[in-house]
Structure 1
Amino acid sequence: MKLAALTLGTVLALGAAQVHAETMVEDMDASGAYSMEELQAAYPDLTEDGFAQIDTSGDGEVDADELAAAREAGVVAE
């Protein structure tokens, strides 16, 4: 019984960790912002229109605040 409870607790904990996992985007050129290519590496289905929606400043790059806002709004998955 204890083993079943421990196993169930482990499975639930792992499931909760996966739900809260955040998609990692790598700033490959260390510019401090993300390019279309860098975001597409993490979000392969991202289109130019989707990138433009995330890039609210219109400067051709997505900074951490813009990405966080897009995740919060559900524009991209976490």
Structure 2
Amino acid sequence: MTKLALVLAVSALTATAALAEDAAKEVADTDGNGTFSLAEVQAVYANVTEEAFKAADTDASGELSADELKAAIESGAFAA
């Protein structure tokens, strides 16, 4: 029973990470600069506010890196 619970837990974590990665791929880098602007994020996640975007921008660059975007999605900060 413990092995089954462990397998299910690992499967759930893997699936969650895969879903977050897929969701991050949905956001298009329309200007091709390698980062994601608020407008690019809002094209997929319309409810993302400027405040939430700035909170996800951990390096305060004004745009999100792929890692920052993925982290925001995984944390549930950006809900579709």
TM-score, normalization by structure 1: 0.67
**Deviations 1:5-34 (Å, cap 9, x if unpaired)?**
xxxxxxxxxxxxxxx483310000000000
Gaps (5+ residues) in structure 2? 1-18
Paired letter, 2:33: S
How far did residue 77 of structure 1 move? Answer: 3.5
**Deviations 1:25-48 (Å, cap 9, x if unpaired)?**
000000000001100101111111
Select 1:34's aligned residue among 23, 33, 36. Answer: 36
Kindly indicate whether the alpha-carbon contact (under 8 Å) linking 2:48 and 2:79 is maintained by their aligned counterparts in 1.
no
Q: Give the equivalent residue in structure 1 for 2:64.
A: 62
- What count of residue pairs does the alignment treat as equivalent? 60
Over the matched positions of the two proteins, sequence identity in percent amounts to 44
Paired letter, 2:75: A
**Which of structure 1's runs of 4+ aligned residues deviate more than 2 A?**
20-23
TM-score, normalization by structure 2: 0.66
Bigger CA radius of gyration = 1
CA RMSD of aligned residues (A): 2.1
